[in-house]
Amino acid sequence: MRILLVEDEVRLAENVAAALREIPGYAVDCASDGQIGASLASNRCYDLIILDLMLPLLDGQGVLRKLRADSDLTPVLILTARGEATSIIELLNTGADDYLAKPFDLGELIARSKALIRRGKGVAHPLLRLSDVELDTLQQSVTRAGHLIDLTPMEYHILEYLMHRPKVIVSKRELLEHLYDYNWEHHSNVIEAHVSNLRRKLDWGATEPSIETLRGRGYRLSLREQPRG
Whether 116 has a pLDDT exceeding 80, the answer reads yes
Most distant CA atoms of the chain, gap in Å: 59
Q: How far is Cα 117 from Cα 96, in angstroms, rounded to an integer?
A: 13
Asked if residue 86 lies in contact with residue 53, where contact means CB atoms within 8 angstroms, the answer is yes
User: Which is nearest to 50 in space by CA: 78, 22, 92?
Assistant: 78
Q: In this structure, how many other beta carbons lie within 10 angstroms of the beta carbon of residue 78?
A: 23
Does the predicted TM-score (pTM) go above 0.95? no
Tell me, what's the pLDDT at 180?
76
What is the chain's Cα-based Rg? 18
Whether 104 has a pLDDT exceeding 80, the answer reads yes
pLDDT tens readout for residues 28-68: 999 999 999 999 999 888 999 999 999 999 999 999 999 99
Whether 191 has a pLDDT exceeding 90, the answer reads no
Residues in CB range of 71: below 8 A, 6 or more apart:
none
